[in-house]
Chains A and B, each alone.
Chain A
Amino acid sequence: AQSVTQLDSHVSVSEGTPVLLRCNYSSSYSPSLFWYVQHPNKGLQLLLKYTSAATLVKGINGFEAEFKKSETSFHLTKPSAHMSDAAEYFCVVSSLKAAGNKLTFGGGTRVLVKP
């Protein structure tokens, strides 16, 4: 079985300050981990993915995430928030043993960026 917990349902930051979105996972097997972003009334867009290569993963729009196996975490960061980063973010886990390439989604973190 696998599961994902996003520790904050809402995060509020000021433009130009760092963003941290926290994610913990559990998986019986070697996981693949993803972060997706969803802007209002849009589909989900892949930000970045971890698939057992480098533990520090760089994604689009200046985001990066670090896989820490000992802490079962995959936190998403960005050094300087932009107004366009206001959206909902989903941490996602997949296991090579999960049939049909199923993904398990966290509950989402909604990011508000203040000017």
Chain B
Amino acid sequence: DVKVTQSSRYLVKRTGEKVFLECVQDMDHENMFWYRQDPGLGLRLIYFSYDVKMKEKGDIPEGYSVSREKKERFSLILESASTNQTSMYLCASSPGVAGIVRSYEQYFGPGTRLTVT
């Protein structure tokens, strides 16, 4: 079974803090993704990575950055957290040869519910 784990289920941070959300997958997948989920808006893609050290902006990258130093780990960074970043954050991974487009399904972690006060 594919397993995607996220470092925290619940997180409370203060405005202006630097926040790290970590995601690890154990299936040697090339592609990894970060989404945020808000009521009525569904899932929106923040960033994705199709290879180590490679990243691409998604639909809502503003206020976020990412890091992928190892294939199994993909980190989402909030440089200076703001209250409008309070949300559920979901990490996902999918197989795919690096640089070649495939429409594989994605496997999701349990999510991190982040509250910024």
Q: Residues of B contacting A24 with CB < 8 Å? A: none
Q: Is the pair A102, B48 in contact by a Cβ cutoff of 8 Å?
A: yes
Number of A-B contacts (CB under 8 A): 63
- Nearest residue (CB) in B for A32 is B103
User: A52: shortest Cβ distance to chain B, in Å?
Assistant: 9
Question: Could you tell me which A residues sit within 8 Å of B by CB distance?
Answer: 9, 31-32, 34, 36, 41-46, 49, 51, 90, 94-103, 105-108
List B residues 41-55 near A (Cβ within 8 Å).
41-45, 48, 50
Q: Hey, what's the 0/1 contact readout for B97-117 against A, CB within 8 Å counting as 1?
A: 000011111111111000000
Q: Is the pair B50, A100 in contact by a Cβ cutoff of 8 Å?
A: yes
Complex Cα distance A96/B43, Å?
A: 20
Q: Residues of A contacting B90 with CB < 8 Å? A: 43-44
Q: Residues of A contacting B107 with CB < 8 Å? A: 46
Q: Is the pair B42, A101 in contact by a Cβ cutoff of 8 Å?
A: no
User: A19: shortest Cβ distance to chain B, in Å?
Assistant: 20
Q: Is the pair A90, B103 in contact by a Cβ cutoff of 8 Å?
A: no
Complex Cα distance A9/B41, Å?
A: 11
Q: Residues of B contacting A100 with CB < 8 Å? A: 31, 48, 50, 56, 101
Q: Is the pair A101, B104 in contact by a Cβ cutoff of 8 Å?
A: yes
Q: Residues of B contacting A102 with CB < 8 Å? A: 45, 48, 58
Q: Residues of A contacting B45 with CB < 8 Å? A: 102-103
Q: Is the pair B110, A103 in contact by a Cβ cutoff of 8 Å?
A: no
Q: Hey, what's the 0/1 contact readout for B19-41 against A, CB within 8 Å counting as 1?
A: 00000000000010000000011
List B residues 70-117 near A (Cβ within 8 Å).
90, 92, 94, 96, 101-111
